[in-house]
Structure 1
Amino acid sequence: MFADGYGLDREQRRVFPAQVAARTRGSYELLLRGHQTGEQPWARLYAEGHADFWGPAADYVAAHHDAWLEALVSD
């Protein structure tokens, strides 16, 4: 429904799972770097447990990449 609602073409659907994976992993890494360097607000968000969500979410997205890709580009 998401891809249909935004009118994604086949190429956009093909790259979408990798974009979601990169964005999700990037969110986790930003929190981790903030924790390591003390940069705010990322260090505070890490301390509040936000990385506990984003780390596993990034792993989940990566693990299910192929299934999402198949669902998005199948006719």
Structure 2
Amino acid sequence: MLKSPRIIGALAILIILALVVGWIWDKASDDALNQIERQNNEAGDASDDDRSRFDLCPDGMWDFGARKCRGPSTGGRD
């Protein structure tokens, strides 16, 4: 008679632990996906910014290694 409640209690604890581990696993995967999406968005924004600066740079003056224009600035002093 005592074995049956112990088995039921042990199974209940195992089920609760499985649910908690499953919830933690799901939350961790959501956090990882959000971090990857954020990095992708930042990379896209950086690419768009570089492309805009490249388009504004005079022909042949873009330094690809430094990712900037080597020519005179367009809005400089007189």
- Both proteins in one fold, TM over 0.5: no
Q: Higher strand share goes to which structure?
A: 2
Q: Higher helix share goes to which structure?
A: 1
- Normalised by the length of structure 1, the TM-score is 0.36
- Normalised by the length of structure 2, the TM-score is 0.35
Q: Which has the larger radius of gyration?
A: 2
Q: Which has the higher contact order (CA 8 A, sep 6+)?
A: 1
